[in-house]
Amino acid sequence: MPRPRALIPVATSAVLAAAVWLVTAPAGFLNYDTAYALLWGNDLVHGRTPDYDVPFAPTPHPLATLVGMLSSEAVFEVLAFVALGVLGWLVFALGRTWFNVPAGILAAAIVLTREPIFSYGVRAYVDIPYICLLLGALLVETRRARAGTPVLVLIALAGLLRPEAWLFAFAYCVWLWRGGALSKTHIALLVAAPLLWSLSDLLITGNPLHSLTGTRDTAADLGRVTGLQHVPTTLPRRLGEILREPVLLATAIGGVLSLWRLRDRRGVVLGAAAGVLAVLAFCLLATAGLSILTRYLLLPATILAIFAGGGVFGWLELDPETDGAWRTRWLALAALTAVAMLAFVPSQVNRIKNTRSALVAQTKILDELHTLVTDDPIRCRPITVPNRRAVPQLALWTDTRPSEIVSAQEAGSWPGTAFAPASPAIADQFVLDARDKDRSLPDPPPEVNTLGGRYWDRFEDCGPRVP
């Protein structure tokens, strides 16, 4: 029977997950990438080869596809909130271990109230579980130096969600080697994630580098910003968008002063090293020609948030007798930073409210589409949608291959059973993305829709009828 103390992380994560759900409800749906992971997992369960080559298919993440084999939309949506709860607890635990309890509480509060983390988490992006796995590895290593196998197991699992984790595994193995603790098991865990990912691509597409080349090609097709030359201007701005200015100020104070005055605390040095690796991994993605996206910076932003907690409360760890002068200086800086952070609370609350409203609207739009698809059988093929945005969901709901679903934007027409947004406002809310190169949609067919709702019109064109 588990000890009561061992249940604290589980209970805390559950409470945090429930709190995020209560704030968000009734929002909750799968983003485009995760919906494809569920679709591809469903394909494998039914003995079909996943269609990785469908236009604008996302990067296949092996662990997400495996979960998709054993899961459903509802389960994925629940896991999204669970991941946010676990993230909150891990940030608190690291903040408490590196600094103290108040620092951990503040860091967790910062992370769970950042609009991008909130948004990506509710929509079940794999980035949140990925961050949880790496933070879990950091926590294990913080508590026991050169812990070895448990750390590498967590990093290897993270490496099946995002390739940046491979850099962490390599750096950690170098760390073990320098301490004379590297074993064959560790080397096997180091190569496990890239080998399994490449093997998955090879078996499904015949190309072991499909995820790299396919993602790079999609980034080019979508006109995304790529290349190392854009990192110096993009990275600071994106981190600022995630954390906001007062938190960045607290991070600077916490980072500089903790590395100077608390450098004997191993967790502080470990956290700084992890932050540097996370930024380096982001740079490698940009160099490889992949998109420079905000969510790729969620890990370094999370680590910075822990140092922000230290920036406000790290002075508590200084001895008032031997380091009293710096304790006072740090406290003064922390007080100023805390005032600035409090001043930004109304703005942050508004950002969360606006994001929640957008997520609720998108949830309702997607729910109505599901109703229109399932309440009346699809009589006319193909199924046509405005663009590729809703393809994975419709493929799941109708047991249709995504390659057989037509994009009206690409075809220039609405053949078969077509689902069109009821208004330009609905198209802007759900169908179109501000970053899309092509934001145009063909005019819907003139026929009267067979079914319609607040958000969608359903049209049918079964072709010429033979008397």
Full domain range(s) for residue 267:
4-343
Residue 436, SS3?
A: coil
337 shares its domain with 396 = no
377 shares its domain with 338 = no
269 shares its domain with 392 = no
d(CA 131, CA 301): 10
pLDDT exceeding 90 applies to what percent of the chain? 79
124 shares its domain with 196 = yes
Q: Which residue, 343, 361, 395, sits at the end of a domain?
A: 343
At 276 the pLDDT is 97
d(CA 39, CA 425): 28
C-alpha torsion 408→410→415→418, nearest 10? -20
Question: Considering only 8-22, 83-97, 195-209, 371-385, which range has the smallest mean pLDDT?
Answer: 371-385
Residue 298 belongs to a domain: yes
457 shares its domain with 323 = no
At 235 the pLDDT is 93
Residue 466 belongs to a domain: no
Q: Which H or E element spans position 218? A: helix 210-222
Q: Is the pLDDT of residue 463 over 70?
A: no
Residue 467 belongs to a domain: no
Q: Is the pLDDT of residue 1 over 60?
A: no
Q: Is the pLDDT of residue 466 over 50?
A: no
d(CA 319, CA 317): 6
At 465 the pLDDT is 44
9 shares its domain with 47 = yes
At 437 the pLDDT is 67
Q: Which residue, 296, 323, 343, sits at the end of a domain?
A: 343
Q: How far is CA 254 from the centre of its chain?
A: 26
At 441 the pLDDT is 82
Q: Which residue, 290, 321, 343, sits at the end of a domain?
A: 343
Nearest residue to 152 (alpha-carbon basis) of 198, 180, 193:
193
Sheet-wide strand order for 456-461? 406-407, 383-385, 416-421, 456-461, 451-452
Range 89-118 average pLDDT: 97
207 shares its domain with 327 = yes
Q: How many CA atoms, within 13 angstroms, populate the side-chain half-sphere of residue 119?
A: 18
47 shares its domain with 181 = yes
Nearest residue to 28 (alpha-carbon basis) of 88, 86, 82, 90:
82
Range 405-421 average pLDDT: 91
Q: Is the pLDDT of residue 464 over 60?
A: no
Range 119-126 average pLDDT: 96
On average, the pLDDT of the chain sits at: 92
Angle at 427 between CA 421 and CA 430, to 5 degrees: 105
d(CA 202, CA 204): 6
Residue 216 belongs to a domain: yes
At 467 the pLDDT is 38
264 shares its domain with 359 = no
125 shares its domain with 248 = yes
305 shares its domain with 356 = no
20 shares its domain with 165 = yes
Residue by residue, DSSP assigns 144-172 as STT--HHHHHHHHHHTTT-TTHHHHHHHH
Range 129-147 average pLDDT: 97
At 382 the pLDDT is 93
Residue 444 belongs to a domain: yes
Range 360-367 average pLDDT: 94
At 258 the pLDDT is 95
**Structural domain tally of the chain?**
2
Angle at 140 between CA 134 and CA 144, to 5 degrees: 145
Q: Is the pLDDT of residue 305 over 50?
A: yes
